[in-house]
Chains A and B, each alone.
Chain A
């Protein structure tokens, strides 16, 4: 069961909004794919809710990415920075 982050140390950052935008998905489509309400997708993206391990694995499988590419304890660097860093 997931829990709602209350303190700074329990904050979980994620890239769901970016990944969803990349794949041109609506919240409803992503929600249907992983079996939650579309509002929960929005709350996840906003950081209002931290997912259970089960839901994190479902999201990971859906996007075809390792969990650490989607969720992190520290804020993610902008994707553009990472892309340019790899190109150099």
Chain B
């Protein structure tokens, strides 16, 4: 007669999923780096478009005061706000929650943004000189025609403000743009399981 032994196998304890909730720290917007890079590339195009629309509207086939510049500025604000939403924490000075990786990413972004800003400013001044030098030369030779609206070389306050704003927008955007370009993809949701008890 065969005897069968019954062996009790302990049942495994149920496991409890531990899922990390996404917080504002994950909000590098948009989440994927590829998408973020596309949006980062859009902003300089918009800014350049706005600059050309102000400085030389005829190049875009626009009349003066067409409203296109205002529209571009609105879109620029939206795109910049979207990129800034995810990077504001990193660019904040002395944020209490920044750790060594964040501080490194921020330092790297500012370090990379500086030569980019210098490049933009140098190209801007070169372009301005190429456009303005013939006018300055002509004004020097012929004298300003004060009665003519387009004759002679005049620096207007609107023109100066435009150049200053152009530099300001680049200076504010570039660190954020570099961060948005370089930050890695957001982490996938964590689904660590842990034995209960």
Contacts and interface: CB of A to CB of B under 8 A. Distances in A.
Given A21-B192, A42-B187, A26 B18 contact: yes
B195 interface: yes
B192 A43 contact: no
A49 B104 CA distance: 10
A32 to B, nearest CB: 11
Contacts of A21: 192
Contacts, number: 58
The listed residue with most A CB atoms (<10 A of its CB), out of B18, B25, B97, B101, is B101
Contact of A55 (B18, B100, B184, B190): B100
Given A26-B190, A26-B192, A46-B184, A38 B104 contact: no
Interface residues of B, number: 20
B192 A52 contact: no
B101 A49 contact: yes
A26 B104 contact: no
Contacts of A36: 99-101
Contacts of B135: none
Contact of B195 (A4, A24, A49): A24
Contact of A43 (B184, B194, B195): B184
Interface of A: 1-4, 21, 24-28, 35-40, 42-43, 46, 48-49, 51-52, 54-55
In order of increasing CB-CB distance, the 9 nearest A-B pairs are A42-B187, A36-B99, A48-B184, A40-B101, A24-B194, A37-B99, A49-B101, A26-B192, A26-B18
